[in-house]
């Protein structure tokens, strides 16, 4: 007999089951009707609503069974709650999990079992609705659907109790405020033009608006029996789970990807997915919040556009070989292309310049034709490399840029710079080497990418650098100190009394206080100092260019201590916090890692805490 393993959400599942106060309760007609219907419609002698406790399974309702509970180790239902689909055992004597089971080899001689999980609002499997027979048998698709429908009714009854329990716990909140807030949230949630859903930590769909159902093709009830992994395209699941693990670990506070869902009934749909997480006040993960935007039309358009682009390049190459016969047709295609088109001869002189090239680079065609390309659009620092590269290709036929898709800097007529994506083709026409290129302005795209990269290193609340930025810059700063023969210091700051401000005035005031602390750090820091918010009320200051003693670093720490401990006026409140500072000095040519240096500063900070707070300790 194979004992069922514990599900990954066992602790949360048991906590909820006990909180519902349904175990060992009196029979209820709502559940008894369901088991009677299972017995009657499926023509089985035994039907149960079984709730799987930590050590036992207890029967909330039973037909054909006298015992009110059994050991969990003997429970078929403990296996059934592990899956997302109904578990059907047509002949237990032929199933390796149950062939030697005491209830199979002895009374009541179970042969057939079919169980469907009964789930909470959050998707936790509390137990099953199951049908049992002493003879082997098969369920038709219609019978299985009946069992699923009745299990859904049992789940709704259990979820109703869960909802009532939750409502009772929230009665201390003002009813009018709660109802108004809920109404506003529900209106926004349901009427949102994009899909909005909450996802359980294990991946189960908890709640979703109509847009999610329209995007995926599933009803709410169907989605709540699935996980997001079940309907994610296999090729996209790995990257989605990788980003999700970073979000859970706290490495990122949100992520955005483009992925495909498997629609009900077949086919896929592309979505732009943004995911954040909701944590309890104690820092425990409660659920994920996902927003889905249907980008299927955009993806189809991009695919069509890429196909058109590739076809255009192919046609340009073909028509270049037939230039004398089909020049007018080629000019029409090139002249009206969405990308800049430029052709040059073996000397580098421009022979082709379409309208988009005029718009992109500012030179009219009549001005550009005959001119050297590197004088028009190649930045001065790259012109020699451009010239030598052409000469090398003409001599050897070898090139690092021909037939490659590259991103390169370029110049406009007014001297401003831009970045272009370029694909260069080399052709041999009547024994003469010519080059053609399509160029697409990607300046805005690169700026957006650079902005995203900067934001990834920035703390959004204070505008200081974040932990990731510190991890990247500190080793380089230590290397610079070694080259220059100067000392470097790390100040590890932890605010004293910040929690009391949060508890007294609220988190909004706490956020304003953190911004003011960051502003005071900027005012007292030197221009060469690096200011970092690690997390919560922890900050780090990296001091470069110090002499080998600790006087400079200690004076800087004292200025910071004095600045932060001054009263802070926020709206109508006046708050005051202290700060404990740990100081670690890195002498030039000292063999220690950035992690060791940070741990020294951290330990010194804790020494300051233990010394009574509001002081500085040197590691």
Report the alpha-carbon distance of residue 110 to residue 95 in Å, rounded.
Answer: 12
Helix axis angle, 141-169 relative to 29-42, nearest 10°? 170
Sign of the torsion angle spanned by Cα atoms 448, 449, 452, 457: negative
Output the CA angle 143-146-151, nearest 5 degrees.
130
Which of 418, 469, 404, 411 shows the shortest CA–CA distance to 447? 418
Structure tokens at 361: 């680079």
The H helix count followed by the E strand count for the chain is: 22, 23
Report the alpha-carbon distance of residue 54 to residue 43 in Å, rounded.
Answer: 31
Q: What are the backbone angles phi and psi of residue 212, rounded to the nearest 5°?
A: -60, -45
CA distances from 384 to 315, 352, 380, 389, 390 (A): 32, 22, 8, 8, 10
Report the alpha-carbon distance of residue 607 to residue 153 in Å, rounded.
Answer: 60
Q: Is 67 a catalytic residue?
A: no
* Residue given tokens 């592990």 in the structure block: 82
- The DSSP H or E segment spanning 569 is strand 568-570
Which of 191, 256, 196 shows the shortest CA–CA distance to 220? 196
Cβ atoms of 466 and 457 within 8 Å: the answer is: yes
Please tell me the number of Cα atoms within 13 Å of 613 on its side-chain side.
9
Report the alpha-carbon distance of residue 90 to residue 111 in Å, rounded.
Answer: 7
Among 133, 240, 537, 602, the one annotated catalytic: 537
Q: Is 267 exposed, middle or buried (0-12, 13-18, 19+ CB in 10 A)?
A: exposed
Name the pairing type of β-strands 268-279 and 340-345: unpaired
Name the pairing type of β-strands 616-618 and 87-89: unpaired
Report the alpha-carbon distance of residue 579 to residue 615 in Å, rounded.
Answer: 7
- The DSSP H or E segment spanning 20 is none
CA distances from 98 to 101, 568, 574 (A): 5, 69, 69
**DSSP letters spanning 498-552:** HHHHHHHH-HHHHHHHHHHHHHHHHHHS-TT-EEEEEETTEEEEEEEEE-SSSHH
Cβ atoms of 510 and 498 within 8 Å: the answer is: yes
* Residue given tokens 């001065």 in the structure block: 380
Report the alpha-carbon distance of residue 619 to residue 602 in Å, rounded.
Answer: 9
For the chain, the residue count is 619
Which of 482, 604, 473 shows the shortest CA–CA distance to 531? 473
Output the CA angle 199-85-256, nearest 5 degrees.
25
Three-state DSSP state, 139: coil
Q: Return the active site residues.
A: 537
């Amino acid at each position: 007999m194979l004992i069922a393993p514990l599900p990954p959400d066992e602790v949360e599942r048991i906590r909820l089951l006990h909180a519902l106060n349904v175990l060992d309760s009196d029979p209820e007609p709502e559940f008894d009707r369901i088991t009677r219907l299972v017995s009657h419609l499926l023509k089985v002698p035994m039907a149960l609503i079984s709730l799987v406790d930590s050590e036992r399974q207890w029967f909330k309702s039973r037909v054909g069974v006298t015992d009110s509970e059994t050991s969990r180790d003997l429970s078929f239902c403990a296996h059934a709650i592990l899956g997302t689909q109904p578990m059907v055992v047509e002949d237990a004597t032929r199933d390796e999990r149950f062939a030697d089971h005491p209830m199979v080899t002895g009374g009541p001689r179970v042969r057939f079992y079919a169980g469907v999980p009964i789930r909470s609002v959050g998707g936790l499997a509390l137990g099953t609705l199951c049908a049992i027979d002493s003879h082997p048998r098969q369920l038709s698709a219609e019978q299985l659907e009946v069992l699923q429908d009745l299990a859904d009714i049992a789940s709704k009854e259990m979820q109703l109790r869960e909802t009532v329990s939750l409502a009772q716990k929230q009665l201390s909140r003002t009813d009018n405020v709660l109802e108004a807030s809920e109404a506003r949230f529900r209106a926004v949630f349901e009427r949102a033009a994009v899909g909005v859903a909450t996802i359980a930590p294990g991946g189960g769909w908890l709640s979703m608006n109509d847009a999610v159902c329209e995007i995926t093709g599933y009803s709410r009830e169907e989605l709540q029996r699935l996980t997001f992994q079940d309907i994610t395209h296999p090729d996209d699941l790995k990257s989605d789970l990788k980003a999700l693990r970073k979000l859970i670990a706290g490495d990122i506070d949100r992520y955005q990807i483009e992925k495909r869902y498997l629609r009900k009934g077949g086919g896929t749909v592309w979505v732009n997915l943004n995911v954040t997480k909701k944590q309890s006040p104690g820092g425990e993960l409660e659920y994920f919040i996902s927003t889905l935007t249907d980008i299927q039309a955009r993806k189809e358009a991009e695919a069509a556009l890429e196909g058109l682009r590739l076809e255009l390049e192919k046609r340009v190459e073909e028509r270049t070989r037939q230039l004398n016969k089909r020049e007018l047709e080629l000019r029409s295609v090139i002249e009206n292309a969405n990308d800049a088109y430029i052709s040059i001869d073996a000397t580098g002189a421009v022979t082709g310049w379409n309208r988009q090239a005029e718009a992109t680079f500012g030179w009219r065609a009549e001005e550009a034709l005959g001119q050297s390309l590197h004088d028009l659009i190649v930045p001065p620092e790259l012109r020699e490399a451009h010239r030598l590269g052409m000469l090398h290709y003409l001599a050897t036929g070898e090139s690092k840029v021909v037939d490659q898709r590259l991103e390169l800097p370029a110049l406009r007529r007014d001297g401003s710079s831009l970045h272009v994506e370029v694909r260069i083709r080399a052709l041999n026409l009547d024994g003469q080497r010519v080059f053609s290129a399509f160029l697409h302005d990607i300046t805005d795209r690169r700026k957006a990418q650079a902005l995203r990269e900067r934001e990834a290193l920035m703390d959004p609340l204070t505008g200081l650098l974040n932990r990731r930025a510190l991890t990247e810059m500190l080793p380089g700063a230590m290397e610079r100190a070694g080259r220059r023969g100067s000392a470097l210091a790390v100040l590890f700051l932890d605010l004293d009394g910040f929690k009391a401000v949060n508890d007294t005035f609220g988190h909004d005031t706490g956020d304003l206080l953190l911004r003011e602390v960051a502003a005071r750090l900027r005012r007292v820091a030197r221009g060469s100092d690096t200011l970092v918010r690690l997390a919560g009320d922890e900050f780090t200051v990296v001091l470069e260019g110090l002499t080998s003693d600790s006087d400079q670093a200690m004076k800087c720490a004292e200025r910071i201590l004095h600045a932060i401990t001054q009263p802070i006026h926020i709206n109508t409140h006046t708050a005051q916090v202290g700060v404990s500072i740990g100081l670690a000095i890195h002498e030039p040519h000292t063999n220690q890692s950035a992690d060791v240096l940070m741990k020294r500063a951290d330990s010194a900070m804790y020494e300051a805490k233990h010394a009574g707070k509001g002081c500085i300790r040197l590691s």
